[in-house]
Chain A
Amino acid sequence: MSELFADYAAAARKTPAFDEMFDAGQLPRTEYGQVASALDALNLADVTARADSMARTFLDRGVTFDFAGEERPFPLDIVPRVIAGSDWDTLERGVAQRVKALEAFLNDVYDRMTVVADGVIPRRLITSSAHFHREVAGFTPAGGVRVHISGIDVVRDQQGTFRVLEDNVRVPSGVSYVLENRRAMAKGLPEAFGQQHIRPVEEYPRRLLAALRKTAPPGVEDPTVVVLTPGVFNSAYFEHTLLAGLMGVELVEGRDLIVRGNRVYMRTTAGEQRVDVIYKRIDDEFLDPLQFRADSVLGCPGIVNAARAGMVTIANAVGNGVADDKLVYTYVPDLIRYYLGEDPIIANVDTYRLEDAPAREEVLDRLDELVVKPVDGSGGKGLVIGPDATKAELATLRAKILEDPRGWIAQPVLQLSTVPTMSGGQFSPRHVDLRPFAVNDGEDVWVLPGGLTRVAMKEGSLIVNSSQGGGSKDTWVVDGEVRGPARGALQDERPAAVRERTSVWPIETNWQDKQSEQQQQ
């Protein structure tokens, strides 16, 4: 291998984590073959120049996230994360299965709660979730779908098995980076693209728009879809503009909308225009000051009532947060069995429920070996990694857990799998996770091949969140065989038909003269 990989094996041996690119014998895995040979041909100067040009493109195109009021480019590493097609097919089925179960769960929770009556999950657990919104109980959303878009976070453990880390069925973000990363990589590492079939990602906006239109309120002929953003200061604002742009729909803020007679309109230069589907990118709490936080200026008053009246589809539906609750997460395998009658395809990470006294005892004893997470957090907020925490931090954590055991879960420290990542002039192993995005149109769950791989840029760090110094990698689902144009198929094809000449306009300058000449002859 190239000099850039000189110290890789030594660094990889330091951690027990599964390496995505190299097997135990430090040979590249089959799916990484192309990438390995492309990287092999590069030296440090090449890699640096390419990385710089990729970063520059991101800055120029405005591929940024907002951090503390500042626009920052989202760091993209030059080594892609590759997943073999066969592994992906399993993952894809697992994600779709999970989305269907969560969809059924949410429908049940806001309706008759049979899942509680049948003793699968305690009622107290649902009603005590911070994101269980009684405001939306008792009606089926127009279009009948609650989880239109989801991002189920999965990780690979030490054995290389995929496990679900958490569910995001509220406002999963990051898909814009998947689209932009692929664009950037096609220019940054073109050598690795040839000769193999990488499943494309660019159909995402089309799929999303189709699903949103399909779930419009019944009876709407040509539904108007909008993307609702909190505004330019939101950290994911770039993603909102990109998706609205790629779908060719308006990007609205709360102040552009008005609800009148339970119908939603947007203010345009030609007066008010009816809105049928809202792709909501703001948190439930801020959506409607009449129902939730009264001081919110990001939302639009009356929008929840409009949804209740079936006049507008909100995607994702309000109240989905209860399925994201990390304590509900521990029940998802049971929910899959209960609603779908299937066994879960992707397993959960082992999790302690701290309300159980024996589990709590054990966790409190082993606090310094476990990861403890708040149940309603996202983006790595409030998470404490036992082995990295100080005594004082652990003491505070212990007090918090004892005060509110419902608010926390504990998991063993997972050694997330590693992928070579450019750092300090060479490639070294860095931990990654994966967020596949799924789009649900009510009949079918489509999973974007690949998804977002986030990578912790610091050595040994397990925190991949962009707000905490994480970067990303382009994620390739690679199918084994080379899918060039099949030769057999080519021979079968008939030669292209000669184009009709009569259907075009005449371009000879003296066309009429010629015609009359011909007539005379």
Chain B
Amino acid sequence: MLSRIAESLFWIGRYVERADGTARILDVHLERLNQMPLPQQRETSRQLLGVMGSRPEKEDTDLSDLLQALAYDRSSATSIAGALGAARENARRARETVSSSVWESLNTTWYGLTQHRKDVVGTYRFCHWVVERTAMVRGLSDTTMSHDESWQFLVLGRSLERADMTARMLSTHDVHAAGLSWVNMLRCAGAYESFLRTRRASFGDQQAAEFLLLDRLFPRSIVYALSDAETCLTQLNPAYQRVGFINDASRIVGQARTFLEFHQTRDLMSELPEHMDRIQKACARASDAVSRTYFSQADELAWVGEVS
């Protein structure tokens, strides 16, 4: 397939997952923020924006700035609207490759972005709607596209972004002075019920963090997402099944995953910020490596002579 199309698919995967993750994080934090005194609310909003990777421009960031930056700002790919717009634009460019139902669901989602009230209450609805729509896009791409190379790129982007998003989600724990309760954190990832059933009575910060970070069976955990990405990378390059690796992406993702998976520690909570930071960096590096290997092409047109 064309490199340009592969790149578009990779980014559709990333942007859709980003919209989903951001909607989940925003939803949970909005609830907390609303209960805070104003100065604290401002400080927390700023920090939250920092974690989500958008630098607040003004000193006094208030709630509406936060909503604008994370939900409605179409010009920035960190916001939900921006990410969905970018996903739709990429799908438009790869329209003959994605199935028409995937294109249509992204297209109608994009048209639906304007139909929400941009206040706090409207944003709850908005987040819920985004989670639903992105689930639909994922479902349609899984069931209507051949699971060939093109789909692998989509899933690769999705998995890397998901690991990154869960890492950010865990990082936001420290944003609140009192700490966001782990119940909320698990709800945010949609992991609450799974966690309860898995861990039963033992309930605490440590276990919840472990679950979101290390659980091998829960799909939004970082270890699970990274091993998904690894599978995709292997599928894309089946020649290196036995020894070695061909690209940096496999190495970065593989090393991150194995380190976490087999890491032994008594105090996960104090190490958590360090881990989260490294995971976000690893995802970014892996994404760069994928671009270099599969997508990059000489930017300018070059004429190669008559004789090769």
* A interface residues with partner B (beta carbon < 8 Å): 59-62, 232, 237, 241-242, 244-245, 249-256, 258-263, 266-270, 289-290, 297, 300-302, 305
Contact = CB atoms under 8 A, between A and B. Distances in A.
Nearest to B6: A269
B3 A267 contact: yes
Contacts of B236: 269
B95 A256 contact: no
Contacts of A255: 4, 297, 301
Contacts of B104: 60-62
B1 interface: yes
Contacts of B59: none
A511 B128 CA distance: 51
Contact of A59 (B2, B100, B111, B294): B111
A275 to B, nearest CB: 11
Interface in B272-308: 294, 297, 301-308
A253 B4 contact: yes
Given A258-B304, A302-B303, 7 more contacts: A61-B104, A251-B96, A256-B4, A263-B308, A269-B2, A269-B153, A290-B303
Contacts of B103: 62
A61 B102 CA distance: 10
Contact of B306 (A59, A270, A305): A305
B216 interface: no
A250 to B, nearest CB: 6
Contacts of B294: 269
Given A245-B95, A305-B306, A266 B2 contact: yes
Contacts of B89: 232
B174 interface: no
A62 B3 contact: no
Contacts, number: 82
A252 B2 contact: yes
B92 A232 contact: yes
20 contacts: A59-B111, A60-B108, A61-B107, A62-B92, A62-B107, A232-B93, A237-B92, A245-B95, A250-B2, A251-B95, A252-B2, A255-B297, A261-B304, A262-B306, A267-B3, A268-B3, A269-B3, A269-B153, A269-B294, A302-B304
B96 A245 contact: yes
A63 B109 CA distance: 16
Interface in B101-136: 103-104, 107-108, 111
Given A60-B108, A232-B93, A268 B301 contact: no
Contacts of A269: 1-3, 6, 149, 153, 236, 294
Contacts of B100: 61, 245
Nearest to A301: B303
Nearest to A226: B2
A72 to B, nearest CB: 13
Contacts of A244: 96
A156 B294 CA distance: 54
B2 A268 contact: yes
A74 to B, nearest CB: 15
Nearest to B299: A255
Contacts of A262: 306
Contacts of A297: 301
Interface of B: 1-6, 89, 92-93, 95-96, 100, 103-104, 107-108, 111, 149, 153, 236, 294, 297, 301-308
A241 B96 CA distance: 5
Residue of B4, B100, B297 with most partner-chain A CB within 10 A:
B4
A292 to B, nearest CB: 14
Contacts of B95: 62, 241, 245, 251
Contacts of A249: 96
B4 A261 contact: no
A221 B4 CA distance: 27
A269 B303 CA distance: 21
Contacts of B305: 261
A266 B297 CA distance: 11
B13 to A, nearest CB: 15
A267 B5 CA distance: 10
Contact of B308 (A250, A260, A289, A300): A260
A252 B305 CA distance: 22
A461 B1 CA distance: 46
Given A232-B92, A261-B308, A289 B3 contact: no
Given A61-B107, A241-B96, A301 B301 contact: yes
Contacts of B4: 253, 255-256, 267
B141 to A, nearest CB: 16
A199 to B, nearest CB: 25
Closest 8 CB pairs of A and B: A261-B308, A245-B96, A301-B303, A241-B95, A244-B96, A260-B304, A251-B96, A269-B6
Nearest to B111: A59
B156 to A, nearest CB: 12
Contacts of A62: 92, 95, 103-104, 107
B301 A254 contact: yes
A250 B149 CA distance: 14
B303 A256 contact: no
A258 B304 CA distance: 8
Nearest to A258: B304
A256 to B, nearest CB: 5
Contact of A258 (B2, B6, B302): B302
A259 B302 CA distance: 9
Contact of A267 (B92, B111, B297): B297
A317 to B, nearest CB: 21
Contacts of B5: 250
A259 B297 contact: no
Contacts of B308: 260-261, 263
A135 to B, nearest CB: 15
A308 to B, nearest CB: 11
A289 B2 contact: no
Nearest to A255: B301
A260 B89 CA distance: 32
A237 B94 CA distance: 11
A268 B236 CA distance: 13
A251 B8 CA distance: 13
